[in-house]
């Protein structure tokens, strides 16, 4: 199920398993940046309760769909629906649009029409769970059938790219999802997945957290996943709201005045994106301190901004220490930050914040 939608920012289920062993929660786990639900899905498979929040409606939809419980009759309904899906095909009334550019530029006319048709069919399905599974299959197949590639923080138009027919890409994915459910249907406590802002969400009581925040890399998820967001919501401007409420890890036009944590250093006053990032993360760490019994693990990468190497893990550690956590980095690896024209080695770490 972890493969149902490719999300570049997702981490491996193995890292979640590793930290669940370390923290040994008796009841519940929390992920304030749940993305496509890796933490809640692993927790569910181990019989643990979990809560995951995310600011992206796409991430929330994908997590919910992956983490839901499916009965045999849901799976049978999905198979029947898929068989009859393209019979008696009617013109869809839905016209897909997106705030930043027209999706028509990114797909052939035939693929554009097929995508609109499948989107509308998902909405009309009697069994809502089957509808959600097919919508996930459709969203997941978009990158394969469009003339674009996701290149860092942007969608790059590439007319020479060979695009798969949307109908075939969708059917292949839908069949894979059904087959995964037939062979690996995970039963367990259904996680709570909510659309919420990690800076203000301070509800519940959990044994520990396992999470990975957006990296300080100027990547705006609302743009990179804008096509999926607008198709999911059937709303041209779905990405706008998300952009305004996201953790400030990328440069926006309307920077608000921010009180910068002292641990962020001098540079954070000169380059607002750095100050904003650590100010937001300070609020998240404060909430995690209040809502977890044992603390947790945070996977994060260091950054290079305008040639300056920012040790994000160490700065977050110092902020965490001031809040009351005991902090260490038991695991890390080297990765390459592609800050064109240079490629610089930075660290990606699993930082542990214990109480
Ligand atoms: C590195 S990804 C997490 C990926 C996740 N670990 C997984 O395996 O799918 C960071 C996530 O933080 C979310 N995010 C950004 N700002 C947020 C905010 N203010 N509150 C909650 N989530 C936010 C993004 O939408 C993104 O899904």
Give the confidence band of 3 by pLDDT, cuts at 50, 70, 90: very high
Report the nearest atom of ligand 1 relative to the CA of 31: 6
Here the tokens at position 206 are 């959990």
The whole-number pLDDT of residue 209 equals 98
Report the nearest atom of ligand 1 relative to the CA of 201: 20
192-241: pLDDT as tens digits: 999 999 999 999 999 999 999 999 987 888 899 999 999 999 999 999 88
Test site for ligand 1: of 54, 250, 279, 282, most ligand atoms within 8 A of the Cβ? 54
List phi, psi (to 5°) of 115: -60, -45
What is the 8-class DSSP label of residue 10? -
The whole-number pLDDT of residue 7 equals 94
35-54: pLDDT as tens digits: 999 999 999 999 999 999 99
The whole-number pLDDT of residue 252 equals 66
Query: How close is the Cα of 223 to the center of ligand 1, in Å?
Result: 14
The whole-number pLDDT of residue 271 equals 86
Mean pLDDT over the full length of the chain = 93
The whole-number pLDDT of residue 4 equals 96
Task: Return the bridge partners of 195, or none.
Answer: 54
Ligand 1 atom 7, closest CA = 10
Residues with CB under 6 A from ligand 1: 7, 9-11, 32-33, 35-36, 38, 53-56, 59, 197-199, 212-214, 221, 245-247
The whole-number pLDDT of residue 245 equals 87
Test site for ligand 1: of 33, 44, 246, 283, most ligand atoms within 8 A of the Cβ? 33
Mean pLDDT of 324-350: 89
pLDDT higher at 348 or 186: 348
The whole-number pLDDT of residue 229 equals 96
Instruction: For the chain, give every residue range classified as CATH 3.40.50.150.
Output: 13-67+192-218+237-354
pLDDT higher at 226 or 343: 226
| Helix, strand, coil percent content, the chain, rounded in steps of 5 | 45, 20, 35
Q: Is the pLDDT assigned to residue 72 strictly greater than 90?
A: yes
Residue with the two structure tokens 């902020």: 319
254-301: pLDDT as tens digits: 666 788 999 998 888 888 889 999 999 999 999 999 999 999 999 999
Query: How close is the Cα of 326 to the center of ligand 1, in Å?
Result: 24
C-alpha atoms less than 13 angstroms from C-alpha of 251 in its C-beta half-sphere: 5
Here the tokens at position 10 are 């997702």
Query: How close is the Cα of 109 to the center of ligand 1, in Å?
Result: 33
pTM of the model: 0.96
Q: How many CB atoms lie within 10 A of CB 181?
A: 18
Percent of the chain with pLDDT over 90: 77
The whole-number pLDDT of residue 176 equals 97
Report the nearest atom of ligand 1 relative to the CA of 246: 16
Here the tokens at position 282 are 């300070």
Burial of 306 (0-12, 13-18, 19+ CB in 10 A): exposed
The whole-number pLDDT of residue 190 equals 96
Ligand 1 atom 8, closest CA = 10
What is the 8-class DSSP label of residue 206? B
Mean pLDDT of 9-33: 97
Give the confidence band of 185 by pLDDT, cuts at 50, 70, 90: confident
Q: Is the C-alpha dihedral spanning 323, 324, 326, 331 positive or negative?
A: negative
The whole-number pLDDT of residue 258 equals 82
* Architecture field, domain 13-67+192-218+237-354: 3-Layer(aba) Sandwich (3.40)
115-160: pLDDT as tens digits: 999 999 999 999 999 999 999 999 999 999 999 988 877 888 888 8
């Amino acid at each position: 199920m972890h493969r149902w939608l490719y999300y570049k920012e997702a981490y491996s289920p193995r890292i979640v398993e590793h930290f669940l062993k370390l923290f040994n929660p008796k009841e519940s786990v929390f992920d304030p940046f749940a993305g496509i639900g890796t933490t809640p899905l692993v927790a569910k498979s181990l019989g643990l309760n979990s809560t995951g929040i995310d600011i992206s409606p796409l991430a929330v939809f994908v997590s919910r769909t992956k983490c839901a419980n499916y009965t045999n009759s849901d799976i049978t309904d999905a198979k029947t629906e898929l068989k009859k899906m393209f019979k008696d095909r009617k013109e869809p009334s839905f016209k897909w649009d997106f705030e930043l550019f027209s999706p028509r530029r990114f797909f052939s006319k035939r693929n554009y029409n097929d995508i609109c048709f499948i989107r509308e069919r998902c909405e009309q399905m009697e069994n809502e769970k089957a509808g959600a599974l097919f919508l996930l299959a459709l969203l997941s197949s978009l990158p394969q059938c469009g003339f674009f590639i996701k290149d860092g923080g942007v969608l790059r138009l590439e007319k020479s790219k060979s695009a798969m027919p949307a109908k075939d890409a969708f059917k292949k994915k839908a069949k894979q999802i059904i087959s995964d459910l037939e062979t690996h249907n995970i039963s367990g406590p259904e996680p709570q997945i909510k659309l919420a802002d990690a800076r203000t969400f301070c509800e519940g009581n959990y044994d520990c957290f396992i999470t990975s925040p957006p990296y300080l890399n100027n990547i705006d998820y609302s743009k990179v996943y804008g096509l999926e967001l607008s198709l999911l919501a059937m709303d041209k401007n779905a990405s706008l709201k998300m952009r305004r409420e996201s953790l400030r890890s990328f440069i926006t036009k309307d920077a608000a005045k921010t009180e910068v944590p002292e641990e962020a250093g001098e540079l954070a006053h000169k380059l607002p994106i750095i100050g904003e990032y650590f100010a937001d993360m300070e609020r998240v760490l404060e909430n995690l301190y209040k809502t977890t019994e044992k603390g947790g693990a945070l996977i994060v990468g260091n950054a290079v901004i305008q040639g300056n190497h920012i040790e994000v893990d160490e700065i977050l550690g110092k902020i965490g220490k001031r809040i009351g956590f005991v902090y260490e980095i038991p695991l890390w690896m080297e990765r390459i930050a592609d800050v064109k024209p240079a490629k610089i080695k930075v660290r990606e770490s699993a930082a542990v914040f214990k109480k």
